[in-house]
Structures are given as C-alpha cells and as structure tokens.
Structure 1
C-alpha cells in the first residue's frame, strides 16, 4: 500500500513512478473478507489541454487531490469492509479513459469514479452501459449526460445549466447583464457558451475562442473586454489561463476592474491557496460548500481526514472534497448492501433513499442527479480566501 505522506509533489513522484495502475487496500481491512474493488480513471500526469496556456501543470493537484479525498471517504465509511481502490491515469485523453474503464471492468470493480471531462465520460459510456457498471461522481455537467437515459450515471454536482443560470442570476442582481466570454477549444467551452447565449437574462456582447499560449490568451481577454458594452468577463477556459488573463486585466495598462468570473471547473487547490492580488475579487460558481470554512459535519470530517493524510493545504481543495463526498457515498452504500456487493445492488442502494452525509443531503432524482446546489464564491480582497 502506498501511504500518502509529505507534500503533494512527493506523493506525485510516488504515484507515477513505474506503473500507471495505483491500487490501495483499505486501512486495517479484515484479511478474511473478500476484496471489493472500486475503480477510478483520472488525469494524474498530463496537462489539462493539448496546448497548455502556461508552464504550470495544475493537473496533479486536481486528479491526485480527488483521489486522496476519494480514498479518505472510503476509509471513513467502510466499517471494516475490505474495499480496494484502483486508479488509472487517463492523461486527459478520452480514448485512454475508455480503455481504463474497460480494464477496470475486467478486474471486477463494482463502481467507477473520476472520468474528468465530458469527452472522457462520453467515450466510457458504452462500456458502463454494457457492463451495468455504476459511475458515481462524474465531473462533467453536460446536459446530454444528465438526461435520465443513462441509468448507471450517478451525478453528485449541479450541471453546467444550473451553474450558468446561477452565475447569470447573481451577476444580474448586481446590475451586470452584458458579458464578454473567453473560452477554450473544447466541449466544455462550447456547451457553456451555448447555455449563456440561450439565457434570457444574459447578453453576450463578444466571445473569443483561443487555443494558444499565455500571450495569446491575455491578448484575447483584452480584446474581449475592450468591446463596447462589455460589463463583465466570463472565463470558460482552462484554469491555467487565469494567471495571464488576470495579470493582463488587473495590472497592465488600462486595468479592467469590472467582474471576472468562471464556473467550477477552474476550482483547484492552487487557486484556493493563491494569495496573489491579481486573483482578488475573482468570482466562481461552486457545487459544494467551502471545505475550508464550512461548519458542517461532512466538511469537518474531510478536514480531519486530510490532516491525517498529511497533504499540505488539502483542506482547501475542492477536488479533494468532491472526491471525499463520492468515496463516502460509495463506501456507505457498499456497507449497506451487507452481502457481497454487486454492481446492481450498489445502484439500487444509491437510488433507494436519500443519503445524509452530515450537512449534505444526496437524493437521486429521475435524471440521476443527487445534488444540485450552487454557491457563488469570490476571492476575498483581504485574505485571498474564497467566500460566499
């Protein structure tokens, strides 16, 4: 078993050393009990886009933090059940995500988690359907994956439509209704721009799609906010774009001091702990409570678990918290099945009743969505902490 100790960088070095498959049995599991395997396909080593917009690789914080939280959630709720997590690196490649799910299915896993992007989820969907394999906690909020037609997809976050609507409502309440949009060349950016364009409370004055480096992203942002009538900027590009974009808009000639906002896809540990003044007042939608400040029982258990693991500042990581929620839910329902869990029994247990994780209630509806709450956070100009 690989113990997660020390810094995140040290853990990354351990995780990607000589194998792409990372397997951990439960802590102090009873050896006589049969092993129940849960699989994950996550981006553990690659940049988030083929053409990264900065030299900073933020993906280890995202994929590895989610994995750390998921494992901690499993250990918190397994109650002696011998649950083993098996994680495979998909490097943000949909075809590799599909291959990972195929390999995990052959290993006999009872559930899958991860599948970070819309493209990855769509690629893996035929495998999940054919094997009746539950996928718990997809990151994608794409409408076509949340139609209710896919009985093995269990969503634990609001969709892109809810996030876009919430952001438009909050911004509109403050008098901002005319937006510029900066997006990347991916399904996420395309889908969210369409949702913004169809929202009756939002007027898209100018939108720009960029697939280049930091300089190109910063220049595109400047051109968008310079368009006549733009009151606020919405960033639908990878999180790596924020540093050059915010630096250009806040610090360069003719600073743009109006709101700059994004959706939850940019939330990561590095952004959460960043104290650089260029990020101050950056606003973002969030599917969960702030794990660092929330007083709920589930947030408290999460912070304690991260402290036990020894990851630096992981108690501020939204990805780790999301993983903790998914892992807790999976383990709790595996235990509830009582007999040797099967994929079908786990799916029935997830659907059968509401699940109270301690200040967070999950109840799957006819769309297979268990949680729809959206918060709107901003970077405090005083201490840099995300606050509601």
Structure 2
C-alpha cells in the first residue's frame, strides 16, 4: 500500500480550480510554447464543453530563462488558490524550480523534460513522458537496426545535453556503435552553424544525432544537408516535433527520425487523439504537432484528475493522484514510485510528403 503523502497545510480551493502555467512565449522556445499552450487550452475547453467543468488558468512568461521559471513557480507556490502547475519547458528550468514546488507542496503535473535526474522520490512532481535515457536507447536501437555503425553527435551545451551524451556513449558501447565525433553547441543556437561545421569537418559518420531544441536543431540539419551535402540519416529528440517540424515543407527534413514520447495524433486510434484531431481541424498544421498533443494530454490529465478527485486542496489532489489510475481518452496513466505515469515510445520520421509517419 502506498503511504500517504506529507504536505503543508490544507489549501482551500476557489469555486473553480485554479491551474498555473509557466511558458517561454518569447525567445528561442516560443514555437514550442505556443503549441503547448494551444494544446492545454483545447484540453481545458474540452473539459468545460463535455463535463461542464471549468478551470481558471493563469499563464506567466519565463522567456526560456530558468531564473524566471523559478520565480514564477515561487509565486504560484505562495498563491494558495492555485492547486496545480504545469508547462515547465526544459531540463535547466525544471532543475531551477522543482525544489521550490517540492518544499511548498505545489503539485506539478507534466514537465517537458525527460531527464532522469528530475525523477527522484518526489511527493509533488508527476511525470507524463518516458525518460530521455529510454528515448535515446530506443533511438540507438533504431540507428543500429538501420545498419549504421558509426555516428556523430551535436549536443546542447547544458545539463540536458551533457547527461544525454553520457547516456548515449554508454549505450553505444552496449550496442556496438561507434561515436565518430561529438561536439557541443550553445543551447539557443548562437554558434550552431560553426559547431556543425566542426562536427562534419572529419568525414566518416554514417549518421548524425542532434541533441538540440527545435530551432538550433533545424539550423544544424539545414546546414549539414545544404552546406556539407551530408546525405546520411539524421535523428533528433521527441521534443522537437512541434508544428515547426511537423508541418515544415523543408525538403532537407525528409527522413528525419525521432522517437516520439506520445502517440502520433494524426493516426493514433485512442479517443484522445481523435478528439485532438477534431479540435485541431482548420488550425494551420496543428494536427501534425506532437508538442500540441503533448499539451493536450497534460491538460486533459490535469482536468480529469481535478474533476474526478473533486479536490478542494493541494493535499486532496496529491493524495488522489498517488493511488488512482486514470483513463485519459484511452491512454492509461498510473504513477509509480518515481511519480512517472506514462512511458510511451514510438519511432516516427519525416516523410517525402512533409508529414510525420510511423
């Protein structure tokens, strides 16, 4: 039997539950933030239409700055009418703010990071995606299955990139893959073209792995294809699959492989994906965005938990989440001892017609 969670003093809820998001609506992650927020909004609107259950939502800007993310979470934690928070984008941002949420007893449901370092025994942080380590292992299995034996790696020069490279190197040994060369680049892409040139200066790699966020990843991909005529397969992380990539007409992106942490909404059979497709209809490229579907899944999980638990306090919500399975439109969510409730992985690629396919 799971032990009851220890939490700070009870919090009386407002008549409509209040949820707070911190998102980088400006800067290098703005495309990601827009898609995520659209997904959340669709989920919350759907809850109101279908269940007559309305959430009050607060969205604060963090400009992809970990210090601002932490400041926002601190403000949310102090506002005792806020029952849960979500929307944190990136490993450095989560590292900066999760200790604050933990100390205050603020539930965080859904983080856009799969870093294993964030999955410690927490009483308030609930994860809804497979770990980056699991994703990278699956990616390397895909690389090996494609008959490649030697790859080069461009990685983000931050805590995410360094941890991802370390795991990739360890798994490459196990799978008998050679790392031809690895080069770090600025997280936000300031030097990505120069660093890609450095990476490709020594030929010999059969494939290229880009452990970067969307905008610099696309710059590196375009530079590799157009400036260096790199013809080998290129692989990226699941978190780049927003509308910018999913609906991009860029021919250089054809064949880009990813391991998705969520079902591909355009073809998935679960009811949640069908609802998302219907709600995304007529919105330019939205149905192709795994990032928007991620926000829709997180928002639907939060709305379902608050509706079913009838939580009047953070304590109520935390206690309910730790022991109740959720059926979120056909996707099962059950949090384990690390508070990880969903571990989907699926290989997708950018096809000749510009769509993402399985």
**TM-score, scaled to structure 1:** 0.82
Whole-angstrom distance in 1 between the partners of 2:123 and 2:144:
36
Matched, 1:154 2:129: no
1:122 to 95, 118, 126: 95
1:96-122: CA deviations, max 9, x gaps? 111111222233210010111112112
Match of 2:356 in 1: 386
Match of 2:10 in 1: none
Whole-angstrom distance in 2 between the partners of 1:370 and 1:333:
13
SS in 1 for 2:123: coil
Whole-angstrom distance in 2 between the partners of 1:216 and 1:128:
34
Question: Contact 1:215 / 1:244 at 8 angstroms: preserved in 2?
Answer: no
Matched, 1:221 2:196: yes
How far the C-alpha of 1:282 sits from its partner, in A, is 0.9
SS in 2 for 1:365: coil
SS in 1 for 2:110: strand
Match of 1:172 in 2: 144
How far the C-alpha of 1:251 sits from its partner, in A, is 3.0
Whole-angstrom distance in 1 between the partners of 2:136 and 2:342:
16
Structure 1 residues 135 and 214, CA gap change in structure 2 (3 angstroms)? closer
Structure 1 residues 212 and 72, CA gap change in structure 2 (3 angstroms)? closer
How far the C-alpha of 1:231 sits from its partner, in A, is 1.6
SS in 1 for 2:322: helix
Match of 1:38 in 2: 19
Q: Which moved more, 1:75-84 or 1:174-183?
A: 75-84
How far the C-alpha of 1:244 sits from its partner, in A, is 3.3
Question: Contact 2:212 / 2:237 at 8 angstroms: preserved in 1?
Answer: no
Whole-angstrom distance in 1 between the partners of 2:130 and 2:200:
28
Aligned length: 339
**TM-score, scaled to structure 2:** 0.88
SS in 1 for 2:147: coil
Structure 1 residues 185 and 68, CA gap change in structure 2 (3 angstroms)? same
How far the C-alpha of 1:214 sits from its partner, in A, is 7.2
1:367 to 313, 338, 356: 338
Match of 2:300 in 1: 328
1:64 to 26, 31, 34: 34
Unaligned segments of structure 1, at least 5 residues: 1-32, 49-58
Matched, 1:265 2:239: yes
Whole-angstrom distance in 1 between the partners of 2:157 and 2:20:
29
Unaligned segments of structure 2, at least 5 residues: 1-13
Structure 1 residues 274 and 233, CA gap change in structure 2 (3 angstroms)? same
